Chains A and B, each alone.
Chain A
Amino acid sequence: MATDTQDPKSEFRKNQSWLYDTQSGTYVRKSLIGLLTLVVFTYVLFPLYWMVVTAFKTTAEIQQIPPTVFPEDPSLQGFRMVVMSSLQTSGYDAFFEQSFGWEISSAIDIDILTLILNSLKVAVGAGLIALVLGTGAAYVLSQREFRGKNAIMSLLLASLMFPGTAIMVPEWELISTLGLFNTHLALILIYGAMTSPFVVWLMKGFFDDFPDSIVEASRIDQCTPFETFWYVLVPMARNSLIASFIFAFLLAWNELVFALTLLDNSKFTVPPGLLTFVQGFNTQWNVVAAASIIISLPVLAGLAYIQQYFVQGLTGGAVKG
């Protein structure tokens, strides 16, 4: 490889393959990469496109064979049916009929409003638990040395891997024993337990990177450790805290297994609610797609906000984004 040649550039050129050296090679290379990009990103993006398009088709168009790639007759029928059904199931139809003279009736049965409210309740609860408990623990784990610290960190990391399917059966037994079956409190506690290790790792990453001099300065100003934490670190950690909360929120918003096994239909959150509708008799896919878009919006808003923390959060802070 390395030689005594005077001009490293020429040596560099000589080492290139045909693919890099010649005009035709460059064309081949460029078109291969272009084709690859097209295939890979079609795979990722087409299902999303398909969801959006389907939501704007009419029920008649959904049933066409072969399916249409562009909606021939874009309509809001799907969205209207989701909203109508929700209003009707929640019992607001009489109100609208009396006040505005709107006739509300729907052939389908998905009460997305109640599902969303249930999910919000659970997700906010779990997010707050994870945030409050996780941050304090993260501060201590970051700033102090003590016996068993590594064991605790490893245990928290490992506990990120198990929730969901591996423990759904014993979790059901536990929740039944505690008398929490079919309550949202059960989900709040479980999601809190699932997400707080996550928050610990994320916030520990923040506190580790925090300049010692600021902590030192507050100590010189006679702050107790608690005051340093509460008046100095927490305000500066605002962005990380918001990101942590959003992570916990999203997990709770998306979780299916525990919501499906620990709740009845009446208390369902969004994921099992949508599942029941999808697996129901004679599924209307434009309605499903419309409902899917509605419940995905909070997720996409959250993603836009926390994108820069994403890798760090997903890997428990192992990879800094």
Chain B
Amino acid sequence: MSYVDNAQASYEHAIERVPEGVRVYLPILPVMSLVGVFILYPIAQAIYSSFFDKDLLSPAEAEFVGLANYAEIWTSETIHQVLWNTFVWVAVGSIAAIVLGFLMGWLLYEKLPFTSVASAIVLIPWVLPRVVGASIWQFMFGGSQGIINELLVQLGVIDEYIVMLGSTDLSLWPPIVGMIWRLAPLFALLTLTSLQGIDEHLYEAARMDGATPWEQFRYITLPMMRYNLAIGFLLMLIYNIRNFSMVWVMTKGGPGVSSSTLPVMIYRTAFVDFNVGLASALSMLLFVVLLVFSYYYIQVYDKVQGEF
């Protein structure tokens, strides 16, 4: 009897003692406990901590303060600025990434040769380690040697080199540009995949009926892609709102909070100011938004599963 047979025999012996109805859950249990402990439990912990005045370095001396942390979010001007930054970031970043990504996907599908090689190259910004991508952009936007300053001077947009990452007025935008660069390829690939999934005969039939290219796009391409686009849209929102690395590498959220988004603010509150209570309350805010996005994500997902 080989080792495998032996192990299997004892496995079967053990498995038969488990009641029939419970047996099916056994293979799922390890995954669920891992996810439960390291992802779901922390969420509960964050809810709890958000009602306390808690210092990161001396968590034992936490003091119950009720809704004081949430009240601070409600009143603090700094946090309002951060929330506004986050909104701008998500709105601009997502829309730009979607438009650009859609164009890229369409160009890859329709106009460019070597689609599979080209799409692999286009994907590089997305798979590159986050810190690497953000560092490149920091270098390009940064200080006196930045190529982007030189480019803007050459194009006549500005007269001389300006400080971008260290400026209160401008510092929000460079990370958004970097983030669009990272996310657009992902949307492009989604677009390409769903375009490839549409049956050519549909277009042929439409052309026979005299549909113009715009009509073909409007009445065939878009409806056929709607779930994929919806999933792409939600993924853009989710990736944008929970992004940390692009901002943190490029500006650390500063100067002041001029380029801070919610995740960066959570990090700064917890690990720079050591205010765990407020950071937890901010986490709850992020969590609720993510929950809404995820809810719609699952809805769309179920529709896709039902359809195909």
Binding site for B on A (CB under 8 A): 1-3, 8, 11-12, 14-17, 20, 33, 36-37, 40-41, 43-45, 47-48, 50-51, 54, 62-67, 69, 129, 133-134, 136-137, 139-141, 144, 146, 152, 154-159, 161-174, 176, 189-190, 192-194, 196-197, 200, 224, 226-227, 250, 253-254, 256-257, 261, 270-272, 274-275, 278-279, 285, 288-289, 292, 295-296, 299-300, 302-304, 307, 310-311, 314-316, 318-321
- Whether B212 contacts A16 by the Cβ 8 Å rule is yes
The residue that A159 contacts in the complex, of B39, B112, B279, with Cβ under 8 A, is B39
The residue that B35 contacts in the complex, of A48, A156, A253, A288, with Cβ under 8 A, is A156
**Segment from B75-83, B168-176, B297-305 that makes contact with A:** B297-305
- Whether B129 contacts A295 by the Cβ 8 Å rule is yes
Chain A residues in 8 Å Cβ range of B136: 47-48, 50-51, 289, 292
- Whether A1 contacts B211 by the Cβ 8 Å rule is yes
Q: How far, in whole Å, are A272 and B184 apart by their CA atoms in the complex? A: 25
Instruction: Digitize B240-282: 1 where CB-to-A-CB distance is under 8 Å, 0 elsewhere.
Output: 0011110011001000000000110011001100001001100
Q: How far, in whole Å, are A258 and B126 apart by their CA atoms in the complex? A: 20
The residue that B135 contacts in the complex, of A3, A224, A288, A318, with Cβ under 8 A, is A288
- Whether B208 contacts A167 by the Cβ 8 Å rule is no
Instruction: Digitize B26-55: 1 where CB-to-A-CB distance is under 8 Å, 0 elsewhere.
Output: 011011101101111111011001000000
Q: Does B121 contact A (CB under 8 A)?
A: yes
Given contacts A167-B39, A321-B193, 17 further A-B contacts (CB under 8 A): A12-B208, A12-B211, A44-B181, A136-B27, A162-B290, A167-B287, A170-B46, A171-B42, A257-B245, A261-B267, A261-B271, A270-B131, A271-B130, A271-B131, A310-B123, A315-B235, A316-B301
Instruction: Digitize B107-129: 1 where CB-to-A-CB distance is under 8 Å, 0 elsewhere.
Output: 10001100010011111110111
Q: Does B68 contact A (CB under 8 A)?
A: no
- Whether B210 contacts A12 by the Cβ 8 Å rule is yes
- Whether B235 contacts A8 by the Cβ 8 Å rule is no
- Whether A296 contacts B144 by the Cβ 8 Å rule is no
- Whether B128 contacts A165 by the Cβ 8 Å rule is no
Binding site for A on B (CB under 8 A): 8, 11-12, 15, 24-25, 27-28, 30-32, 34-35, 37-43, 45-46, 49, 56, 59, 100, 103-104, 107, 111-112, 116, 119-125, 127-133, 135-140, 144-147, 150, 153, 161, 181, 184-186, 189-190, 193-194, 197, 207-213, 215, 227-228, 231, 235, 238, 242-245, 248-249, 252, 262-263, 266-267, 270-271, 276, 279-280, 283, 286-287, 290-291, 293-294, 297-298, 300-301, 304-305, 308
- Whether B103 contacts A152 by the Cβ 8 Å rule is no
Q: How many whole Å from A153's CB to the nearest CB in chain B?
A: 9
Q: How far, in whole Å, are A304 and B186 apart by their CA atoms in the complex? A: 15
- Whether A318 contacts B24 by the Cβ 8 Å rule is no
| Beta-carbon nearest neighbor of A306 in chain B | B127
Looking at chain B's contact residues, the main secondary structure is helix
The residue that A275 contacts in the complex, of B15, B120, B249, with Cβ under 8 A, is B249
Q: How far, in whole Å, are A170 and B291 apart by their CA atoms in the complex? A: 17
The residue that B121 contacts in the complex, of A45, A50, A316, with Cβ under 8 A, is A45
From B39, B137, B186, name the one whose CB has the most chain A CB atoms within 10 angstroms.
B39
Q: How far, in whole Å, are A66 and B144 apart by their CA atoms in the complex? A: 9
- Whether A66 contacts B150 by the Cβ 8 Å rule is yes
The residue that A12 contacts in the complex, of B131, B207, B244, B271, with Cβ under 8 A, is B207
Q: How many whole Å from A234's CB to the nearest CB in chain B?
A: 12
14 A–B contacts from the bound complex (CB under 8 Å): A12-B211, A37-B111, A43-B100, A44-B185, A47-B136, A155-B32, A168-B267, A172-B56, A173-B276, A194-B38, A254-B130, A257-B245, A275-B249, A292-B132
Q: How far, in whole Å, are A171 and B111 apart by their CA atoms in the complex? A: 47
Q: How far, in whole Å, are A289 and B137 apart by their CA atoms in the complex? A: 11
Q: How far, in whole Å, are A192 and B31 apart by their CA atoms in the complex? A: 9
